Amino acid sequence: MSYILALDQGTTSSRAIVFDAKGRIKKIAQKEFRQIFPQPGWVEHEARDIWSTQVGVAQEAITGAGLRASDIAAIGITNQRETTVIWDRATGQPIHNAIVWQDRRTAGICDALRAAGHEAVFQHKTGLLLDAYFSGTKIRWLLDNVDGARAKAERGELAFGTIDSWLVWNLTGGELHITDASNAGRTLLYNLHTGDWDDELLGLLDIPRSLLPEVRSNSEVYGTTAEGLFGARIPIAGMAGDQQAATFGQVCHTRGMAKNTYGTGCFMLMNTGGEIVPSANKLLTTLAWQRDTTTYALEGSVFVAGALVQWLRDGLGIIRSSGEIEALAATVPDTDGVCLVPAFVGLGAPHWDAYARGTLIGLTRGTTKGHIARAALEAIAFQSADVLEAMQRDGGDLKELRVDGGASANNLMMQFQADILGVSVVRPTVTETTALGAAYLAGLAVGYWADTEELRALWQVDRVFEPAMSDDERAGRLATWRKAVERSKGWADV
């Protein structure tokens, strides 16, 4: 019997999951790595930590499952998107820490491009808004601020990649410098209409084309792992950015289907089929996946979700483990007027305020850590409600929302999510759908699974949360939340 290995490289940890032919988990290995915060609003990773933890958990998952590398039919890769690495082609060494998708240091570059009248061309060509979230301005910052980087880039000596590219480069011993279409579409440099890097956008950001990887589809055999890495060469056959992979893993393969992933951030995607649907409500038009044809999606990106629970654990110390938050929140019947807006690195969709900052409001002498914990869980759900409203204004008619990611296991929060959205929230049996999507893409490429019909038959419901809140209460709660959001906006000077 053979298996598929998914490498799930996330914002706070690297994971590897071995899946069987039924889409069931045989073994998981996971390791957190260091988060680097050089100054407020800046977030970095050491790219070598990403590689070492990812290859380490991959080996651990294979051996922990009692398997050998020869038992693995293919590797699928999914990754934190937009996080930017530039490395030396000759040495393979990064020229600087990776700049993480949450990082806001390039907000000023975005402001300048916007002031010069370029926002419309970026949005039309890429489907994205001009925001520090995306890779393009991060590349520009690295070239402008790392000594000698621009000259080396002009000479073709450097390579840029999002984390998928960085992993494949290392997995293949430097043989392949590639990315997939879903990750390319998150750079501000890729033209959705032509399916290629765009010279006009490269010129506006002053980025040499020689820096960029080759763009490949999301499901094909790209190459194999380097000799000696795992004991046998394993085909690398699928890649997708984490949110696109989760959408594929949730088998949202039909236009109008949507999922929400609760990870470090929170990301809602709605399949729009083969149509590039421009958003009039500050959502992103994104490439979902490219196989025989290209599928697109509307996306709402929330920057802080699970990271908020991590902050309660590591920053405030009011819980010892993330799993304790549900019990703590359940110690109180409501938030008693406390509202927490987790704009630690600005606000994403649909606000796009790089200068917003976290706000805890409505405190009284009666406020307890239980109230704060409950407000944190509600904040994650409220942010998703803002996104869904924008999605519906863009023409989406959502009847149910499929959910996944770590926080989807939290029953209290999932019930509140259904209540505040007013639609059914459906949790599948396997909630590791980001890794599962990467596994599916790789497995399809090597014939491990026959087609998407087979994948749809594997998807099973664990629980459905039905909305139980009255329309009046929902409207009142949302109004209070939006008042708090307005208080958080425009706080930071840089």
- What are the binding residues for ADP? 11, 15, 264, 306, 406, 410
- What are the binding residues? 11-13, 15, 81-82, 133, 242-243, 264, 306, 310, 406, 410
Residues 242 and 299: their CA atoms lie apart, in Å, by 13
- What are the binding residues for ATP? 11-13, 264, 306, 310, 406
- What are the binding residues for glycerol? 81-82, 133, 242-243
Q: Supply the DSSP string of 442-478, one letter for each residue.
A: HHHHTTSS--HHHHHHH--EEEEEPP-S-HHHHHHHH
| 128 and 93 Cβ atoms separated by less than 8 Å | no
- Residues 6 or more apart whose Cβ sits within 8 Å of residue 39: none
Given the structure tokens 């329309």, which residue do they identify? 471
Q: Is omega for the bond preceding 350 within 30 degrees of 0, making it cis?
A: yes
Order of strands, edge to edge, in the sheet holding 266-273? 284-290, 294-302, 266-273, 258-262, 400-404, 424-428, 461-465
- What are the binding residues for sn-glycerol 3-phosphate? 11, 81-82, 133, 242
| 385 and 350 Cβ atoms separated by less than 8 Å | no
Q: Which residues pair with 224 in a beta bridge?
A: 235
**Long-range contacts of the stretch 358-367 (C-beta < 8 A, 24+):** 358/488, 359/484, 359/487, 359/488, 359/491, 361/484, 361/487, 362/335, 362/336, 362/337, 362/338, 362/484, 363/338, 364/336, 364/337, 366/336, 367/336, 367/338
Please name the helix (run of DSSP H) or strand (run of DSSP E) that holds residue 352, with its range, or none.
none
- Residues 6 or more apart whose Cβ sits within 8 Å of residue 17: 5, 6, 8, 25, 27, 28, 29, 61, 432, 435, 436, 439
Coil vs helix vs strand at 37: coil
| 256 and 270 Cβ atoms separated by less than 8 Å | yes
